[in-house]
Amino acid sequence: TIPANVAGTFSTMGARRLFVFGGIALIAVGMFFGEIFAVFLLHQNGGQTGQALLAAAEAVAAQDPSAAKKAFAQIGDLLEDRGTKVDTHVHMVDAGYLALLLALIQPYLALSAASKKLLAKLFLIGGGVLPVGIFLIHYVGLAHSPIPVIGWASILADSAGAMLIIVLIGQIWGS
């Protein structure tokens, strides 16, 4: 059985429980996404990047600037695709670990139970939306964006990151 002093800090659907189960879910989904990416996409992406690099070297040797430019653009596109997938996986897993750490400090915060629960929900929403925004960066790009250098997916990811920062500030404020 769970000691009464521990059980009291782990109330049903309280902040601590939300952080624990939400953190485990973020870690599990992030690791699953990372495995899917590694098994089905990473090696193909690496092979295509190598082929594009070879094409770029051949174009430079043949003094064909348009072919070299095309090959380097393909390399950039492949590296961006790989980078956003890796970042999606890493950010989701990291948010999960941070949620588990925040679960540990919940009993020591001088915030009301409702405030703790609200902060936990906001953190888990941000922890889920941030990787989705990162994943979409490569596919959405700058389409229909009101800002010429930042796309909607980047705005979504940055907003979710800001939500995580706000929650962390709230947690610090309550300590």
pLDDT of residue 25: 99
Query: Considering the domain boundaries, does residue 86 fall inside one?
Result: yes
The tens digit of pLDDT for each residue in 14-51 reads 999 999 999 999 999 999 999 999 999 888 899 999 99
In total, the chain counts a number of residues equal to 175
Domain limits for position 153: 16-173
Mean pLDDT on 102-115: 96
Is residue 143 pLDDT above 70, yes or no? yes
Residue 9 covered by a domain: no
107, part of any domain: yes
The pTM of the full predicted model, rounded to 2 decimals, is 0.87
Q: Does the residue 8 lie in any domain?
A: no
Nearby residues of 63 by Cβ (< 8 Å), 6 or more positions away: none
Please give the pLDDT value at position 6: 67
Contacts of 74 (CB under 8 A, 6+ apart): 48, 52, 55
User: Does any domain span residue 102?
Assistant: yes
Query: Would you say residue 28 lies in a domain?
Result: yes
**Total number of domains in the chain:** 1
42 occurs within a structural domain: yes
52 in a domain, yes or no? yes
